[in-house]
Amino acid sequence: MGRILSISNQKGGVGKTTTAINLGASLASAERKTLLVDIDPQGNAGSGLGVPTRDLEKTIYDVLLGDAEASEVICKSDLKFLDVLPANRNLAGAEVELVSLKNREYRLKEALKKVRNKYEFILIDCPPALSLLTVNALVASDAVLIPLQCEYFALEGISELVNTVELVKQSLNPHLELEGVLLTMFDARISISHQVAEEARKHFQDRVFDTVIPRNVRLSECPSFGKPIVLYDLRSKGSEAYLSLAREIQKRSRAA
């Protein structure tokens, strides 16, 4: 049965979608059958892998509303072992429409049950908000991966997300765990990067991944080409970092 990880942070611009795309691609490069689920109305996880999200007849929106099965909507990527369950701007309306539906917090969990056995890993790219879509992702997940950018104010929003994770664990998903905190956008030349990393390790201790994602121009470029970093520039520092993260994730999953 596939391990389901939500990649979540209510703050935008922290490297959340970049992590979802490139961790998924790195796991697929290791021949781990992986599904990337985009539950962010911006739809960037799909477009970052070359999926023409604007032209799709059905997306995760239709799955959540019960108008399609996940298996009908899943798309192939350029990597043999990586599939995508895409989103587009239609998903923005789901927030309102889900409110009146029965078991509204469990819609994604129920949808993924039918495809979970086909994958070793399922990664969910959450929207940058503590919304009903994010709650759906947390309810469906085994654990949460929190990208934390190494910049000023970065730690302030983390406590709110951790509180939400605890609330979901208490009331909706008692098995939900913190997979880890991933330091992103690290610039070794800037003291604030080192300060944030030090504070994160002091607070979260061994839950902070050993792998640190650096600021890297190639990582910024690859989404515009619809490619993950392992296909765009395999030898870049960004690619090496996400391949290292994939090894850590696999190691933690074996130990779980």
**Domains identified in the chain and CATH numbers:** 3-255 (3.40.50.300)
Q: Which residue ranges of the chain lie beneath pLDDT 50?
A: none
The pLDDT value given to residue 18? 96
* Span 137-183, pLDDT tens digits: 999 999 999 999 988 777 777 888 888 899 999 999 999 999 999 99
Q: Return the structure tokens found at 82.
A: 């990586």
The pLDDT value given to residue 99? 85
C-beta atoms surrounding 77 within 10 Å: 24
Strand, helix or coil for residue 127: coil
Q: Return the structure tokens found at 53.
A: 């999200």
Q: Return the structure tokens found at 148.
A: 């934390």
The pLDDT value given to residue 3? 95
The pLDDT value given to residue 95? 80
Residue 157 and residue 67: Cα distance in Å, rounded?
A: 35
The pLDDT value given to residue 256? 63
Residue 37 and residue 240: Cα distance in Å, rounded?
A: 23
